[in-house]
Homo-oligomer: A and B are copies of this chain.
Amino acid sequence: MATETLTAERILAATEDVLRLYGPAKATVVDVARALGVSHGSVYRHFRTKAALREAVTKRWLDRTTAELSRIVADGSRSAEDRLALWNVALFTAKRKKAGADPQLFATYEVLLRENSGVVDEHITELVGQLVRIVQDGVDAGDFTPVEGDVEATARAVFDATIRFHDPVYAAEWSKPGIEAEMDALLALLVNGLKRRP
């Protein structure tokens, strides 16, 4: 292993494994170096601080969700209305899966959230950007009317309105019975609100 080139990608993959094992409080750069069979100095040449490494691994993990969602955004075979609902359900499903199946990485994400990390802000900006594209497509197709004529503000309002289903502070509620029905009612209300009036 140590003879392979030590890339940032290899370090991040190992960090993800180490975080899964030990969690954000206990995982150290030495653990990551040991998993890779290199010195911790070699890791620090790629990531200058433990915080930088933690941010990079969370960004990589969040980017996987954004990439998944971008396929829904780009699916021109579906109406904007359908994509809006599918996108929200996919985001909820991804977050819920992460909270359940990846609790240690999820905890890392929560640490970054509390630290007001730029990584989380960028993630949110990207998600709202995807919603802007869906809303704009709906407006272009004559299906949607943006609130106050402002597509950006409308996309942000949709994102804010569904915060209970994607903000990790509500993770404990995501396994409650009836949560899907509550989300469906909310999405139906939002889609109604977006639809152009005849």
Write the residues of chain A forming the contact surface with B, with a CB cutoff of 8 angstroms: 145, 147-148, 150, 153-154, 156-158, 160-164, 169, 181-182, 185-186, 188-194, 197-198
B164 touches A185 (CB 8 A): no
Besides the known contacts A154-B185, A161-B161, A161-B162, 19 further A-B residue pairs in the complex with CB atoms under 8 A apart: A147-B185, A147-B188, A150-B185, A154-B189, A156-B182, A156-B185, A157-B185, A157-B186, A157-B188, A158-B189, A160-B161, A160-B164, A161-B190, A163-B163, A189-B190, A189-B193, A190-B190, A193-B193, A197-B198
| Contact partners of A194 in chain B: CB under 8 A | 189, 192-193
- Cα separation A74 to B158 with both chains bound (whole Å): 29
| Contact partners of A188 in chain B: CB under 8 A | 147-148, 157
- Cα separation A160 to B194 with both chains bound (whole Å): 18
Q: How many subunits of this chain does the assembly comprise?
A: 2
B148, B160, B190: the one within 8 Å of A193 (CB): B190
Question: Main secondary structure on chain A at its contact with chain B?
Answer: helix
The distance from the CB of A30 to the nearest CB of chain B, in whole angstroms, is 34
Closest to A153 in B: B185
Across the A-B interface, the 8 shortest Cβ-Cβ residue pairs: A193-B193, A192-B193, A161-B161, A189-B193, A157-B186, A157-B185, A153-B185, A147-B188
| Contact partners of A181 in chain B: CB under 8 A | 153
The distance from the CB of A162 to the nearest CB of chain B, in whole angstroms, is 8
A189 touches B156 (CB 8 A): no
The distance from the CB of A180 to the nearest CB of chain B, in whole angstroms, is 12
- Cα separation A190 to B189 with both chains bound (whole Å): 7
| Contact partners of A190 in chain B: CB under 8 A | 161, 189-190, 193
| Contact partners of A186 in chain B: CB under 8 A | 157, 160-161
| Contact partners of A164 in chain B: CB under 8 A | 160, 163
Closest to A165 in B: B160
| Contact partners of A198 in chain B: CB under 8 A | 197-198
| Contact partners of A182 in chain B: CB under 8 A | 153, 156-157, 160
